[in-house]
Amino acid sequence: MPDLSGLRYLVKTFGCQMNLFDSELVCGLMEAAQAKRVEEVEDADIVIFMTCCVRENADTRVFGQIASMKNLPARSGSQLGTRLVAVGGCIGQRDGGKLIESFPNIDVVFGTHNIEELPELLAQAIACAKPQLSLIDDRVPYDSSFPTVRESRFQAWLPIMKGCNNFCSYCIVPYVRGREMSRPMEEVVADARALVDDGVREITLLGQNVNSYGRDIYGNPRFAKLLRAVGKTGIERLRFLTSHPKDLTDETIEAMATVESIMPFLHLPVQSGSNKVLADMNRRYTASHYLGIIDKLKAAVPGIAFSTDIIVGYPTETEADFLDTMAIVDEVGYSQAFTFIYSKRAGTPAAEMENVSTREEIQDRFDRLVEVVQRGAYDANQVDRGKVVKVLVEGLSKRDDSKLSGRSEKNQTVHFDCPEGIEPEQMVGRIVEVRVDLARTWYLSGELVGQPW
Closer of 209 and 445 to ligand SAH (Cβ):
209
- Answer whether 245's CB lies under 8 Å from 270's CB: yes
In the list 110, 322, 342, 366, the residue contacting ligand SAH (rule: CB under 6 A) is 342
The count of C-alpha atoms lying within 13 angstroms of the C-alpha of 362, restricted to the half-sphere facing its C-beta, is 17
Most distant CA atoms of the chain, gap in Å:
64
Q: Give dist(CA 40, CA 43) in Å, integer.
A: 5
When the beta carbons of 344 and 368 are compared against ligand F3S, the nearer one is 344
91 or 168: CB nearest ligand SF4: 168
Choose which of 19, 204, 357, 412 interacts with ligand F3S (CB under 6 A).
19
Q: What is the CA radius of gyration of the chain?
A: 23
Residue 171 found at the interface with ligand SF4 (CB under 6 A): yes
DSSP 155: E
CB-nearer residue toward ligand F3S: 51 or 233: 51
Q: Edge-to-edge, what's the strand order for the sheet holding 202-206?
A: 155-159, 202-206, 237-241
Buried b (16+ CB within 10 A) or exposed e, 241-272: bbbbbbbbeeebbebbbebebbbbbbbbbbbb
Among 4, 7, 11, 18, binds ligand F3S (CB under 6 A): 18
Q: Which of 29, 30, 52, 304 binds ligand F3S (CB under 6 A)?
A: 52
**CA 151 to CA 123: how far, in whole Å?**
25
54 contributes a contact to ligand F3S by CB under 6 A: yes
Binding flag, residue 90, ligand F3S (CB under 6 A): yes
Ramachandran category for residue 15: left, alpha or beta (phi over 0 → left; psi -120 to 50 → alpha): left
Q: Determine the interface stretch with ligand SF4 among 78-86, 87-95, 165-173, 216-224 (rule: CB under 6 A).
A: 165-173
How many amino acids of this chain bind ligand SAH (CB under 6 A)? 17
With CB under 5 to 8 Å by kind, the binding choice for 52 among ligand SF4, ligand F3S, ligand SAH, none is ligand F3S
Of residues 54, 115, 161, 389, which one binds ligand SAH by CB under 6 A? 54
- Using CB under 6 A as the binding rule, whether residue 267 contacts ligand SF4 is answered as no
Please pick, from the candidates 124, 148, 182, 208, the single residue that binds ligand SF4 as defined by CB under 6 A: 208
Minimum distance from CB of 109 to ligand F3S (Å)?
A: 15
Query: Can you tell me which of 23, 114, 155, 208 binds ligand SAH, judged by CB under 6 A?
Result: 208
Examine residue 13 and say whether the peptide bond preceding it is cis (omega within 30 degrees of 0).
no
Phi first, then psi: give them for residue 298, nearest 5 degrees.
Answer: -60, -35
For 262, which DSSP code? Answer: B
Q: Check binding of 115 to ligand F3S (CB under 6 A).
A: no
Alpha-carbon gap, residue 267 to 306, rounded angstroms: 6
Q: Residue from 173, 226, 230, 439 that binds ligand F3S (CB under 6 A)?
A: 173
Query: What's the closest the beta carbon of residue 289 comes to ligand SF4, in angstroms?
Result: 15
Of 47, 115, 123, 173, the residue at the interface with ligand SF4 (CB under 6 A) is 173
Residues 221 to 260: which contact ligand SF4 by CB under 6 A? 244
Min dist CB 215 to ligand SF4, Å, is 13
Mode of pairing for the β-strands spanning 84-88 and 46-51: parallel
Residues 428, 153: Cα–Cα separation, whole Å: 10
Interface with ligand SF4 by CB under 6 A: which range of 66-74, 126-134, 170-178, 292-300? 170-178
Q: Which residues contact 418 (CB under 8 A, 6 or more apart)?
A: 402, 403, 404, 424, 427
Nearer to ligand SF4, 348 or 412 (CB): 348
Find out whether 411 and 444 touch, Cβ atoms under 8 Å: no
Which residues contact ligand SF4 by CB under 6 A?
A: 164, 166-168, 171, 173-174, 208-209, 244
Which residues contact ligand SAH by CB under 6 A?
A: 54-55, 170-171, 173, 208-209, 242, 244, 269, 271, 309, 311, 340, 342-343, 345
